[in-house]
Amino acid sequence: MAAAIGIDLGTTHCAMAAVRSGDRPEVLWNREGDLLTPSVVVFQGPGRILVGKTAKHATKDLPGDCVESVKRHLDDPGWSFADSHGGTHSAVEITALILRRLAEDATETLGHRVADAVIAVPAYFDDAGRDATGRAAELAGLNVLRLVDEPAAAGIAFSTSGSGSLLVYDLGGGTFDVTVMNVEGADPRVMATSGDRDLGGLDFDERLMRHVAAEVRKQTGPDLFDGGRRQAELREKCEQARHALSRAFQTRVFFGGGDRSHTVEVSRERFERMTKGLLERTAVGTEEVLGEAGLAWAQIDRILLVGGSTRMPMVRRMIERRFGSMPDTSVNPDEAVALGAALLAAQGANRRRGPAAVTPPSAVRSAGREKPRTGTEAHRRRPRAVRRRDGELH
Given the residues 71, 149, 196, 292, select the one marked as catalytic: 71
CA dihedral 201→205→208→210, nearest 10 degrees, is -130
CA dihedral 275→305→10→342, nearest 10 degrees, is 180
Query: Could you tell me which of 117, 115, 104 has the C-alpha nearest to residue 32?
Result: 104
| 237 and 216 Cβ atoms separated by less than 8 Å | no
CA 86 to centroid of chain Cα atoms: 30
Number of neighbouring beta carbons within 10 Å of residue 365: 16
The contacts of residue 389 (CB under 8 Å, 6+ apart) are none
Given the residues 83, 170, 239, 292, select the one marked as catalytic: 170
Cα angle at 66 between 73 and 255, to 5 degrees? Answer: 115
Could you confirm whether 371 is annotated as catalytic?
A: no
| 9 and 121 Cβ atoms separated by less than 8 Å | yes
Given the residues 8, 187, 203, 205, select the one marked as catalytic: 8
CA–CA gap between residue 86 and residue 192 (Å, rounded): 45
The contacts of residue 11 (CB under 8 Å, 6+ apart) are 39, 69, 71, 72, 172, 173, 174, 175, 200, 202
| 63 and 228 Cβ atoms separated by less than 8 Å | yes
| 270 and 365 Cβ atoms separated by less than 8 Å | no
Could you confirm whether 170 is annotated as catalytic?
A: yes
Cα angle at 154 between 152 and 157, to 5 degrees? Answer: 115
Beta pairing, strands 40-45 & 188-196: unpaired
Could you confirm whether 150 is annotated as catalytic?
A: yes
CA–CA gap between residue 187 and residue 45 (Å, rounded): 48
Given the residues 65, 105, 150, 239, select the one marked as catalytic: 150
Could you confirm whether 259 is annotated as catalytic?
A: no
Cα angle at 79 between 76 and 80, to 5 degrees? Answer: 145
Q: Which residues are catalytic?
A: 8, 71, 150, 170
